Amino acid sequence: MISLDLTNGLPEEELFEEANKLEVFLELIHKREQGFYKVIDDNETVEKINKFAKSAEGKFDNIVVCGIGGSALGTICLKQSLTHLFKSQSPSLHVLDNIDPVLIKELEDVIDYSKTLFIVITKSGETIETTSQYDYFSKKLKEKNLDLKSHLVVITSQQENPIREEAKKENLTIFDIPQNVGGRFSVLTAVGLLPAKLIGINIEKLLEGAKTMRDSFLSTKAEDNFPFQLAATQFLLSQKGKTINVIMPYSQKLIKFADWTAQLIAESTGKDGKGITPIKALGVTDQHSQLQLYADGPNDKLIIFIEVKDPHKTTFGQLMQIEKTATAESLIKKSRPNITILVNSVTEESLGQLFLLFEGATAFLGEFFQINAFDQPGVELSKKLTKEALLK
């Protein structure tokens, strides 16, 4: 189990003054009927993923995920965190989380369409960037006389939508995203689990870790509820002017986890003139680039360190731990609050725990801020205006 060290954040008595809100907030979250903490029991989807992965063994050199935002960031995080940082792997995983034409062209420079599986992910079925990628790659596959159903998979909402209708027409394999799970909370659905399984990640262990943290999230005892403790710290410090959270893992493996948390926090809390602004940083790298601002700039930040113990007790690991401790101490001397999430090692289990820790904390933040953490009206307006411009 991962643990929290909140010593350098808020006085303990101030933090636990909020404990009387815990049961009320849990009840409110239940009433929102969000499924992010329930999908980890979806054994049927896990079985379907395992069956598909077995049938795909040895057929593909490349897996290409077409998705953006919550349809991409979790998968990028899973690859960075749970596969070798330098070894090439087979199949290779590529995530197209943009429509930059250079990105598309240079992907095509390195893939053989006949040995590539495309996974198209859009919950709404109408995400214009992703549907454009689907149109492009399905056309390319047809031009090369390749069977679409052998090279294309769709992950989308259970409700009828344009991409689902197209997938049915082409007889493609479809994996469902539960309707009550938003994109940024969907990493533990087929959205993240299918690509993870295809590159050899143990998704059962990932889900077991998530279940461990879910037990904490559902606890009505504040001392046992880590997501509540994290959210209370974030919220109370935001009320003291610390409206920026710097997510700073001391682990190269977890830098993309900081990317994932950035969307989760920003898109969930940024409403009605309220919210927390997330920034990603990497220890020790950003001690030499961003730390000056955090130490001597505006005192408007909470630094959230993620510290990973070095099981091999190497010299570099010891040095990294010393530098993290010194950085935290230096910030406290400057009256800059910081907290630490302690992780024994980066494994499927610990990453599953981290996902649920931040998802649960974000759900609690919605109740603290008295907003709906699960919608994104600002994003929807941008999408609407984009579609209107395309129709002109």
The domain limits of the chain are 3-32+222-370, 39-204
Residue 389, pLDDT above cutoff 80: no
Q: What is the pLDDT of residues 44-73, one digit of tens each?
A: 999 999 999 999 999 999 999 999 999 999
From the list 54, 288, 312, 313, the catalytic residue is: 288
Name the pairing type of β-strands 3-5 and 338-343. antiparallel
Q: What is the pLDDT of residues 123-177, one digit of tens each?
A: 999 999 999 999 999 999 999 999 999 999 999 999 999 999 999 999 999 999 9
Q: What is the pLDDT of residue 378?
A: 74
CB 271 within 8 A of CB 372: yes
Q: What is the pLDDT of residue 380?
A: 67
The average pLDDT across 323-336 equals 97
Q: Which residues pair with 176 in a beta bridge?
A: 156
Backbone angles phi and psi of 332, in degrees to 5: -65, -40
**267 flagged as catalytic:** yes
Structure tokens at 250: 């001391």
Dihedral class, residue 71 (left if φ above 0, else alpha if ψ from -120 to 50, else beta): alpha
Residue 332, pLDDT above cutoff 80: yes
CATH number belonging to the domain at 39-204, selected among 3.30.230.10, 3.40.50.360, 3.40.50.10490, 3.40.50.300: 3.40.50.10490
CB 120 within 8 A of CB 153: yes
Helix, strand and coil content of the chain, in percent to the nearest 5, comes to 55, 15, 30
Question: What mean pLDDT, rounded, does the chain reach?
Answer: 95
Residue 387, pLDDT above cutoff 70: no
From the list 205, 211, 274, 383, the catalytic residue is: 383
Residues in Cβ contact with 230 at an 8 Å cutoff, skipping those fewer than 6 apart: 4, 339, 341, 357, 358, 361
Q: What is the pLDDT of residues 76-107, one digit of tens each?
A: 999 999 999 999 999 999 999 999 999 999 99
% the chain with pLDDT above 70? 96
Q: What is the pLDDT of residue 388?
A: 66
pTM, two decimal places = 0.96
Residue 1, pLDDT above cutoff 90: no
From the list 18, 129, 166, 267, the catalytic residue is: 267
Task: Look up the CATH superfamily of 3-32+222-370.
Answer: Glucose-6-phosphate isomerase like protein; domain 1 (3.40.50.10490)
**288 flagged as catalytic:** yes
Query: Angle at the Cα of 347 (from 178 to 304), degrees rounded to 5?
Result: 85
Nearest to 379, CA basis, from 99, 194, 123: 123
**383 flagged as catalytic:** yes
